[in-house]
Structure 1
Amino acid sequence: MIPWLNSNFRHFKPTAAIAINATRHMNKIERRKLFSPDIEPMRTAEGRWFEAIVYEMFLDISKKSDTIKYLAMKGADAPDPRENVKIGQNGLFYSKYGDITIRGNGQDLAEFDMLLVDSDNHVAFAEVVTSPSDLREFEVEIAYKKKLLGYLYGQKITPFLLVSSFDLSNYTVVKRLTKDKTNAIIHTSSCEQIKSLVKHYRPRIIYNLPENHPKLIRATEIPMKNPFDYKRYHDEVKNRLFTDINRGQGKIHPAITDQTGELVKKVLYGGLFPPAVKAICDTWGMTVRGKTITPEDFPKLYSKAVIATDMPGYELIIYLRSKQKKEYHKMIQMKDGHFKFERPTPPKVGFFLWLESIQPTLGARITMQVLDAFTIRERSRE
């Protein structure tokens, strides 16, 4: 499939019919924003639209090529009912918007713009980009998705398609991806060119639904080859790290090399008892929107704190459960060692439910050991 797409896709360009049909995957507000003079919401709507255009193109292309065996439904074609996020969910799910996601203990681990099965029965995935800003941390994300699909579907090779509305050829990250022959890099028409096709389109829009499409399947029907118990994999990594921390070695950065351990995106060490919160405030400091959080302020503003590290880099995070609003404040560690508010974690995501399930288990001593093991800067020993 990859060589065929690399050599043939340049002949495929979105038509006015495809571009208009793609709007069936957008809600009325998103459609209105497509030609908005307000740049930011327009670009967001444009990204959603272009992703739908690429899907509509593949609905057409897959009928013409034996190299594509199946294409997973998405957007307006995604099947109902769609399961609400729940703790304990593992595997493939459709979001309420029809997006394809893989969840681990309810947490969204990866979202796929498209999922396909090629003629060799490899599960492949696609990413659709409309802006160079989408390329930040892109390689890490692609490598993780390849590992995740490789494990779930028991495949050594996971083909990847990158489809863009702008020329990617001069970007270093894309040059590296191009060297991997299991990747296809595809540049199609720009969003401005596609808009010019439909700007003066006046006839009544009739959506062509893919009824009885010979290759369209539910993403959830693609059979997984390996079991997927994400919470167990998480706890195995967490327990190993606690063992290393308890040895009192100071800073640690162990390589996680087992296949299931490499799938763990974040380690949640536990909730903090009040003395542990005080120790962090006194030693490192925490600020939210410019306001310093003191040990006296904490119980007035927050009901809980959970300490975690992002993987594989072991960047420290503290999640604070707000009392004012149903959300967690994500606190990241700055270069000087203190923790600063980055963004809220809303209640509608599965990760919020996981955080809610965590109770205080860590006292001041073990909490400071965790921080000493992973912190950016050594604290003063005065």
Structure 2
Amino acid sequence: MIPWLNANFRHFKPTAAIAINATRHMNKIERKKLFSPDIEPMRTAEGRWFEAIVYEMFLDISKKSDTIKYLARKGADAPDQRENVRIGQNGLFYSKYGDITIRGNGQDLAEFDMLLVDRDNHVTFAEVVTSPSDLKEFEVEIAYKKKLLGYLYNQKITPFLLVSSFDLSNYTVVKRLAKDKTNAIIHTSSCEQIKSLVKHYRPRIIYNLPENHPKLIKATDIPMKHPFDYKRYHDDVKNQIFTEINRRPGRINPEIADKTGQLVKKVLYGGLFPPAIKAVCDTYGMTVKGRIITPEEFPKYYSKAIVATDMPGYELIIYLRSKQKKEYHKMIQMKDGHFKFERPTPPKVGFFLWLESIQPTLGSRITLQILDAFSIKERQRE
């Protein structure tokens, strides 16, 4: 499928009919924002629209090519029944907006703009981009998604499609991706060109629904080849790290060799007892929106602190449970070692439920050992 798409896709351009039909995957507010003079909401709506346009194009292309065996439903075509996020969920799910996600213990591990199955039964995924800013940390994300799908579907090769509305050919990240023959890099019309096709279509629009499309399937019907117990994989990695910290205090960089361990995106070490919270405030410091959080003030604003690291780089994070609002404040470590507020974690995501389930288990000594093991401060000292 990848060589075929690389050779043939340049002949496929969005038509006015496809562009209009794609708006069926958007709500009324998003459709209005498409032609808004306010740039930021317009660009966000444009990104959603272009993603839907690419999906509509593939609905059309898959009918004409036997290189595509199945295309996973999404957006307005997603199944009506969708499972609410809850702790313990593992595998493929549809979000309430009809997006395709893989969850691990309820946490969204990866979202896929499109999922396809080629004639060799390889599960393939696509990313759709409308801005160069979307390319930040892109390579790491693609590598993770390849690893995740490769494990779940027992694939040595996981093909990947990158579809963009602008010319990507000069970007270093894309040049590296293009060298991999299991990837297809596709540049189609710009959003401005597509908009010019549809600007005169008023006021009545008819949507063509793919009711009997021969290749449409539910993403959740693609059978997984391996069991997926994400919480167990997470706990195995956490225990390995604790063992290494206890064996060799100070700076560490544990090698996670196990395939399932490499699927873990974040390690949650546990909640902190009050003396541990005081130790972190005194040793490293915490600032939220310019306000220094002292050990005395902590109980006024927060009910809980959880220490974690992002994987695979072991970047330290502290999550603070707000008392004012039902959310966690994500604290990241700055170059001088102190922790600063980055953004809130809202209650509607599965990861929030996981954080809620974590109780205090860490005292001052082990908490400072975790921070010393991965701290930026420590790295600078070396």
TM-score class, shorter-chain normalisation, is: over 0.9
How far apart are residue 183 of structure 1 and its match?
A: 0.2
The aligned counterpart of 2:75 is: 75
The aligned counterpart of 1:317 is: 317
How far apart are residue 80 of structure 1 and its match?
A: 1.6
How far apart are residue 378 of structure 1 and its match?
A: 3.3
- 1:328-343 map, 5 Å: 328-343=328-343
The aligned counterpart of 1:378 is: 378
**Whole-angstrom distance in 2 between the partners of 1:248 and 1:127:** 41
Alpha carbons 1:283, 1:379 under 8 Å: kept: no
**Whole-angstrom distance in 2 between the partners of 1:206 and 1:255:** 55
The aligned counterpart of 1:281 is: 281
- 1:1-382 map, 5 Å: 1-202=1-202, 204-378=204-378
Instruction: State the TM-score, normalizing by the size of structure 2.
Output: 0.99
**Whole-angstrom distance in 2 between the partners of 1:249 and 1:86:** 36
**Whole-angstrom distance in 1 between the partners of 2:204 and 2:12:** 25
1:96-150 CA-to-partner distances (Å, cap 9, x unmatched) read 0000000000000000000000000000000000000000000000000000000
1:227-250 CA-to-partner distances (Å, cap 9, x unmatched) read 000000000000000000111331
What percentage of residue pairs aligned between the two structures are identical? Answer: 89
SS at 2:344 equivalent: strand
**Whole-angstrom distance in 1 between the partners of 2:317 and 2:292:** 17
Going from structure 1 to structure 2, the CA distance change for 1:326 and 1:203 (only over 3 Å counts) comes to closer
Unaligned runs of 5+ in 2: none
Unaligned runs of 5+ in 1: none
**Whole-angstrom distance in 1 between the partners of 2:342 and 2:294:** 18
Letter of the aligned partner of 1:55 in structure 2? Y
SS at 1:205 equivalent: coil
SS at 2:249 equivalent: coil
How far apart are residue 180 of structure 1 and its match?
A: 0.3
**Whole-angstrom distance in 1 between the partners of 2:33 and 2:164:** 21
Alpha carbons 1:90, 1:228 under 8 Å: kept: yes
SS at 2:287 equivalent: strand
How far apart are residue 257 of structure 1 and its match?
A: 1.8
**Whole-angstrom distance in 1 between the partners of 2:185 and 2:266:** 30
SS at 1:84 equivalent: coil
**Whole-angstrom distance in 1 between the partners of 2:366 and 2:350:** 27
Q: Which runs of 4+ in 1 moved over 4 A?
A: none
How far apart are residue 251 of structure 1 and its match?
A: 0.5
SS at 1:252 equivalent: coil
**Whole-angstrom distance in 1 between the partners of 2:112 and 2:312:** 21
SS at 1:348 equivalent: coil
How far apart are residue 255 of structure 1 and its match?
A: 1.5
Alpha carbons 2:251, 2:378 under 8 Å: kept: no
**Whole-angstrom distance in 2 between the partners of 1:265 and 1:273:** 25
How far apart are residue 203 of structure 1 and its match?
A: 5.2
How far apart are residue 254 of structure 1 and its match?
A: 1.2
SS at 1:378 equivalent: helix
Going from structure 1 to structure 2, the CA distance change for 1:277 and 1:183 (only over 3 Å counts) comes to same
**Whole-angstrom distance in 1 between the partners of 2:51 and 2:105:** 27
How far apart are residue 201 of structure 1 and its match?
A: 1.1
Letter of the aligned partner of 1:269 in structure 2? Y
**Whole-angstrom distance in 2 between the partners of 1:255 and 1:31:** 47
**Whole-angstrom distance in 2 between the partners of 1:362 and 1:192:** 54
**Whole-angstrom distance in 1 between the partners of 2:257 and 2:39:** 44
**Whole-angstrom distance in 1 between the partners of 2:265 and 2:281:** 26
Q: CA RMSD in A?
A: 1.1
Letter of the aligned partner of 1:361 in structure 2? T
SS at 1:377 equivalent: helix
SS at 1:186 equivalent: strand
Letter of the aligned partner of 1:358 in structure 2? I
Alpha carbons 2:249, 2:369 under 8 Å: kept: no
Going from structure 1 to structure 2, the CA distance change for 1:100 and 1:380 (only over 3 Å counts) comes to closer
How far apart are residue 380 of structure 1 and its match?
A: 12
**Whole-angstrom distance in 2 between the partners of 1:174 and 1:368:** 40
How far apart are residue 84 of structure 1 and its match?
A: 0.4
**Whole-angstrom distance in 1 between the partners of 2:369 and 2:26:** 49
SS at 1:213 equivalent: coil
Letter of the aligned partner of 2:87 in structure 1? I
**Whole-angstrom distance in 2 between the partners of 1:203 and 1:106:** 42
**Whole-angstrom distance in 1 between the partners of 2:117 and 2:366:** 47
How far apart are residue 202 of structure 1 and its match?
A: 2.1
How far apart are residue 204 of structure 1 and its match?
A: 1.5
Letter of the aligned partner of 1:6 in structure 2? N
Letter of the aligned partner of 1:205 in structure 2? I
Going from structure 1 to structure 2, the CA distance change for 1:380 and 1:132 (only over 3 Å counts) comes to closer
